[in-house]
Amino acid sequence: MLRFLFRRLVWLAITLLVVMSVSFFLMKNVPGGPFDGERKLDAQIEANIQKKYHLDWPLWRQFAHYVGPFNLDDERALLASGDGGLVLWRSELAEGEPTTAFGGVLAGDFGPSFRYKDFTVNDILAQSLPISMLLGVLSMMFAIALGVSAGIASALRPGSGIDLSLRLAATAGIALPNFVIASFLVIVLVFMLPLLPVAGWGTIRHMLLPGFCLGLVFAAYIARLTRTGMLETLSADYIRTAHAKGLSSRTVVMRHALKGGLLPVVSYLGPATAGILTGSLVIERIFFIPGTGSHFINAATNRDYTLAMGVTILFTVLVYVLNTVVDMAYTLLDPRIDLEDE
């Protein structure tokens, strides 16, 4: 297990470097910038702004400055006293004391936001990520409960009316975009039957409708995968042996077939959980939820380089870590899988 985790850690570092490099240079080469707007800035003012954020530097130097770890121009950076003493904030050092500054991504600092002047990217992510995660947890709980239940019911009665109905519902859930589902439910549950608030954040009632809309698509995929996995497992020899021993159908399904049947679902849950926890871009915009997805859209439209990079790196880490957790969960569901053989 330790060798497996060490290899994954090495590949995480390589993946982050590649994603960060490609995203950085692509974003910098897209026409337009964070300070473009309807009103043209004076040339001297624009030059001063470019200098403040180091956008007048060559691209390779901007990249090195962003990645870090040494960042001598950042007042927020952590500092170490020249004699190798404790790490302190700049304000805590004696005037004139020699220092070395640490900043950049390698120091966990994504820098200042170009559009939100009073906030750093770390501040924005610290405020928005818990909201997206809370919405994501609620959505994933709904998706797993509904999807697994529907998949098992469909697999136990293949070809029946229940199976056909559930497959049609799952296909519709996959085919319909979540903004279509959200718009329909808003009309029904907000305007026709005023049961839930239309937008905002703060109470459990605000979470129910966006959580349902966000989780429904994932529930449809989980239902299809559960049905496929269960059908394959139920035809295995050890399942027939369990039936021959006289075990009840409930015991066979819940204690023997379910573990094998959920393997495809576990594979899907890694990237799905990362996507759902970091917030749906569309759902958060529809319901005016101040989550990470909304900030990612704003960063793209505003050309907020540092915020877009911060969210991209966050998404990459979440997907990678959750996929690693999924691989480790395989050993619990199927003891024949050996991670050390990867």
Residue 101 is predicted with a pLDDT of 55
Which tokens is 341 given?
């053989």
Q: What's 200-211 look like in SS3?
A: CCCCHHHHHHHH
Q: Work out the pLDDT band at 342, boundaries 50, 70, 90.
A: low
Distance between CA atoms of residues 63 and 27, nearest Å: 12
Token pair 């979540």 in the structure block, residue: 178
Residues 112, 118: Cα–Cα separation, whole Å: 8
Q: Model confidence over 107-137: pLDDT tens digits?
A: 778 888 888 877 888 888 888 888 888 888 8
Closest CA to 292 of 182, 130, 142, 138: 130
User: Parallel, antiparallel, or unpaired for β 78-81 and 87-89?
Assistant: antiparallel
Q: What is the pLDDT of residue 84?
A: 47
The string of pLDDT tens digits covering residues 51-107 is 766 777 777 777 877 787 665 555 555 555 444 444 444 455 455 544 455 567 877
**How many C-beta neighbours within 10 Å does residue 251 have?**
14
Lowest-confidence region among 36-40, 119-123, 177-181: 36-40
- Strands, sheet with 78-81, edge to edge from the N-terminal-most edge strand: 87-89, 78-81, 99-102
Radius of gyration of the chain (CA): 25
CA distances from 44 to 31, 50, 91, 115, 271 (A): 21, 10, 31, 19, 46
* Dihedral angle of Cα 295, 296, 301, 304, to the nearest 10 degrees: 80
pLDDT at 86: 45
Q: What is the pLDDT of residue 41?
A: 59
At 15-34, the pLDDT tens digits run: 988 998 888 888 888 777 66
Average of per-residue pLDDT values in the chain: 78
- Domains (range + CATH), the chain: 40-113 (no CATH), 121-341 (1.10.3720.10)
Please say whether the dihedral angle defined by the alpha carbons of residues 239, 241, 244 and 248, taken in this order, is positive or negative. Answer: negative
Helix, strand, or coil here: 142? helix
Q: Are 148 and 262 in contact (CB under 8 A)?
A: yes
Q: Which amino acid is at 68?
A: G
CB < 8 Å & 24+ apart, contacts of 130-134: 131/201, 131/279, 131/289, 131/290, 131/291, 131/292, 132/277, 132/278, 132/279, 132/284, 132/289, 132/291, 132/292, 132/293, 133/277, 133/278, 134/207
Q: Which pLDDT score, from 0 to 100, does residue 296 have?
A: 81
Percent of the chain with pLDDT over 70: 79
Taking residues 308-334, what's their average pLDDT? 81
Confidence at residue 87, expressed as pLDDT on a 0 to 100 scale: 45
How far is Cα 55 from Cα 262, in angstroms, rounded to an integer? 50
Q: What is the pLDDT of residue 262?
A: 82
pLDDT(225) > 70: yes
Q: Which residue has the higher pLDDT, 237 or 142?
A: 142
- At 248-295, the pLDDT tens digits run 878 887 777 887 788 888 878 877 777 676 657 788 888 888 888 778
Q: What is the pLDDT of residues 186-195, one digit of tens each?
A: 888 888 888 8
* Cα distances (Å, whole numbers) of residue 136 to 130, 196, 225, 262: 10, 19, 20, 21
pLDDT band, residue 163 (cuts 50/70/90): confident
Cβ neighbors of 262 (< 8 A, separation 6 or more) are 148, 226, 229, 333
| CA–CA gap between residue 234 and residue 156 (Å, rounded) | 9
pLDDT confidence band for 340 (50 / 70 / 90): low
